[in-house]
Structure 1
Amino acid sequence: MRQAKERLAAGEVWSDLGLVFASTIGTAMEPRNVNRRFEQLRAAAGLDWLHLHDLRHAFATFLLDQGEELRTVMELLGHSTIRMTADTYGHVLPARARQAASAIDRIRGQEGTA
């Protein structure tokens, strides 16, 4: 809703670049402005320990924990290699490996009863 209001206010100056988070004229936000706004919101929420990059890390961790493919997460993060993603977020993967091992154990258990 806020962006729609900004679009109307900007009129012909608005640049429709399809951005979710855009400046008041539709262009990419200045990194300093993003950081400044994040700091304001963080302080208002009382989350002094939270850093902007933590949100990126949480995003990747949650996706991997929910079983999203490593390649998909790599592409969403803009990493150049899947290894970079695996090395950075590999701590999530052992839980997924345990789930896979449990699945194999269940299959093996079913074979013994057949």
Structure 2
Amino acid sequence: MFPTSIGTTMEPRSLNRHFDGIRTRAGLPSVRLNDFRHTVGMLLLELDTPPHVVQAIARHADLDVTLGIYAHTNLDAMREALDRIDWVMK
């Protein structure tokens, strides 16, 4: 929660506008606050953080939501998984 100058909760759209102004003045590329949240969720899963822990950090009520948003299967991960099966079968 981000407070306003008078201590009330800042509305999400106001927070986004405020962040966008700071980002622009700093000369940074266009990125949304939600992009940071998405990146953290994806990185946590790629670092083998248990999905229920990522769910708690993201404050999702349902694990399926967490996995649906952040669990992107990549080609390297699929190869590694299949290699592990091949190794076990030998």
* TM score, norm. by length of structure 1: 0.56
Give me the CA root mean square deviation: 3.0
2:41 and 2:54 in contact (8 A); partners too: yes
| Unaligned 5+ runs, structure 2 | none
CA contact (8 A) 2:16 2:32 kept: no
Instruction: Tell me: CA distance 1:102–1:40, structure 2 relative to 1, closer, same or farther (3 Å).
Output: same
Aligned residues: 87
Q: Percent identity?
A: 25
TM-score, with structure 2 as normaliser: 0.68
Q: Which has the higher contact order (CA 8 A, sep 6+)?
A: 2
Quick check: which has more Rg, 1 or 2? Answer: 1
1:67-86 to 2 correspondence within 5 Å? Answer: 67-86=48-67
Aligned position for 1:61: 42
Counterpart in the other structure of 1:10: none
Q: 2:87 maps to which residue? A: 106
Report whether the alignment pairs 1:30 with 2:10. yes
Aligned-pair CA distance for 1:86: 1.2
Give the conservation status (yes or no) of the 8 Å contact 2:2–2:10. no
Deviations 1:37-90 (A, max 9, x none): 422332113212x11110100010111111111111001000001111111123
Taking the aligned partners of 1:94 and 1:68, their CA distance within structure 2 comes to: 19
Unaligned 5+ segments in structure 1 are 1-20, 110-114
In the alignment, what sits opposite 1:3?
A: none
Larger helix fraction of residues = 1
